[in-house]
Structures are given as C-alpha cells and as structure tokens.
Amino acid sequence: MEPAAIDVGSVGAICNISLNQQGLLAGLVADIPGLAGKPIESVENACASGGQAVLSVIQKLQIGWGDTGIAIGYEKMRDAEGKMDGKLVGQALGYFSHPAEREGKVYIFPHLFAEVMECYLKVHGIPERHLAQIAVAEYANARHNEYAQMRNVELTVEQAMQIGGINRYIVDGLPLKTYDCSQISDGYAALILATEEGLAKLASPKKTPSKLPGTRRRPTPSKSPAAMCCARGRDQGHEKRLRNGRVRPDDVKVAEIHDCFTVMGALGTEVLGKAEYGKGAQYWVDGKASVDGECGINTSGGLIAKGHPIGATGVAMLGWCAWQLLGKVPKPLQVKGANVAATFNIGGPICASVCTVLKY
C-alpha cells in the first residue's frame, strides 16, 4: 500500500532524546510523502511504548479519525558503529523508574529486577536453574528467527549457570546474571491496522489478518519490586481482555510476553493464566512453553534472545503473534493449529502493562 492510504499513525520510542538527541519522531513520520497533515503522534509508556502505539492507533480508528493506521516502534540504543555504552544506557533507562527507587543503584532496572528475582526464588522455593532454562529455551528459538539478535549463539543450562567470562552477577548479593537479561538492541517494527471499511478500501483478501478483539492499557502505582513479585501473578487487565475476546486462557496457544529478565518470563506465564501462582518457571521446565507444548511462548526468542529495542518491542510482539496465526513464521517455530494469541508488554518496574488478545 502507498503511504497516502494511511489515515492516522503513532510512534513509540523512549531513548530517542536521551541517547540520540532527537525528539518529535511523529514529525519525522509526517515527512514521508503522503503522510503530511494527518493525525500522527509520539507516545511513551516506558517499555510498553510499542504496545501503547498500537492502542493509540486503534483508538484513533475507533473515534472515527480514519479507517487505516500505522503503529511504529523504534529504538536506537547503540552508536553508529554498533557499540554500546552500558552505563549511559542504564542511566537513560533509569529515568523510567520512580525517583525513590533509584538511590544507590548504578544499573537501575537490572537492580530492581534482581530484587524481583530474589523474591520470586525465595517465596516459591525455586532454584536459579529453573529461570536459566527459560533463557536456554529462548536462545534455541532465536536460532531459527532471522530477525533475532542472538540467532548465532547457542546456550546451555550449564553455561547460563556458570559464573565467569561474560556471565556474571549483575548486582552483588542478588541472583540476576548476564544470561538472565534481555539484549540492548537497535530495531524497529511497524503494524498496519484497519477497520473493516479500511480493509475493504485496501482490497484485502476475505481471509483477513488477525483481529484484535481485546486490548488494554493498565497503569498501576509504582510499588517495591518485592511487593510486586509476591502479589498474585494474574493481571486483571489481561483477564478482562480475555473476556472481551470471548476466550479462556486454555484457548491461547501462542503468546509473546515481556521477558526483560528471566523472572518476567515466569511471572508473565502466570499472568497469561497458563501457570498457577508461583508455577510459571516450572511451566517452562516441563516444556509446556515450547513450540510443540501447551502454548508456544516467546517462539521469537523473546526479549532475551530476539532482542529488546524498547519502543519496538510491543509492536514486534503483536507482529510475531500475527505471523504465528497466519502460519508465516519459520517452520521450526510454527505452532500448529493456533487461532488465538496473546501478548503481555510491560513498562517500568512492573507498573504499566499493555495486554492484547488476537484471534484468527
């Protein structure tokens, strides 16, 4: 389709000013011939900015501003040579936490989630090895995804547990290790969304792409990570999306969840309703999250192995799930017979979430 066929748009990113000295991304989108003068905005919801961009487009279509829209997610976190300044990135990302949570922390988000991880392990009596197996499973998936940042890397549980070389504890006295962490990534993703009228204008085939019967943005007050991880893993917003889409957790056969750290892979599985409280890690250990398991979770490789270009992540989650439902992912990663998918995109220290349900 030509850009002129797009009626509205939104773009999600968070580090464009702090790392790239560039604001007004919506204005850059409007520079594309055919998009000038249209309702386009930049949105920010921390690491859930990509999901927020999708919701922003949907809302514009729902209030009648157009019939077609584009949701764009973007992030550039490395320099022109692809080199990373970990301290600078850590500082830039730290702006998306509550000021009271930053004191005494060099790498703010790894530190916060190291506390979440410690709490999860202690409260539920889980060995670190179980969370390491989430990373191992995702690295294995990434090897078949041409878009994955870590597609050329193999990882075993022994490597993920061995302290030394690249793999080290991020914060003294806390269990988070390098292989428990998502990647620092450059990347982008975009989705074209349309109403039924928009699909007709675009002359799309009758068998349309996946539908979004349920979406939700759920901001919550910032709480201590320990309190958050000890709370029930089910997300009320996600449960509401399932009800709106008239599906049950058992119906969901494909999911992309926000595993910024392995502990969130476990917690996100509980949010989906796929595992009971405290049993999220075990779900992965038992192979239920594999491509041929009960529900293929993070078959893309997830944020840990596919990568985490923050503003693009929520958009990419939806895009990958749509590909899964349409049978367009590489054969080794294709979940057979799936017609319902879900995403869980979080922002900040587990204080915002964008949840979606897709049907085909």
Tens digit of each residue's pLDDT (9 = 90 or more) over 113-136: 999 999 999 999 999 999 999 999
The neighbour count for residue 22, using CB atoms within 10 Å, is: 12
Specify the pLDDT at position 243: 65
Distance separating alpha carbons of residues 225 and 321, to the nearest angstrom: 29
The pLDDT value given to residue 211:
75
CATH of the domain at 15: 3.40.47.10
Q: Residue 235: what pLDDT?
A: 53
Q: Return the pLDDT at 30.
A: 97
Confidence (pLDDT) at 233: 41
Task: Tell me whether residue 239 is in a domain.
Answer: no
pLDDT, tens digit, 9 for 90 and up, residues 71-92: 999 999 999 898 989 889 999 9
- Give dist(CA 50, CA 92) in Å, integer: 18
* Residues of the chain predicted below pLDDT 50: 219-234
Instruction: Please report whether residue 192 resides in a domain.
Output: yes
Alpha helices, H only, the chain: 16-20, 25-30, 49-62, 86-94, 108-124, 128-142, 157-161, 196-201, 225-230, 236-244, 262-271, 280-285, 310-326
What's the token pair of residue 73? 């997610």
Number of domains in the chain: 1
Q: Which two tokens stand for residue 346?
A: 């979080």
Is residue 35 situated within a structural domain?
Answer: yes
Domain that holds residue 13: 3-78+186-201
pLDDT confidence of residue 104: 86
Q: Computed over its alpha carbons, how large is the radius of gyration of the chain? A: 19
Rounded Cα distance, 145 and 122, in Å: 34
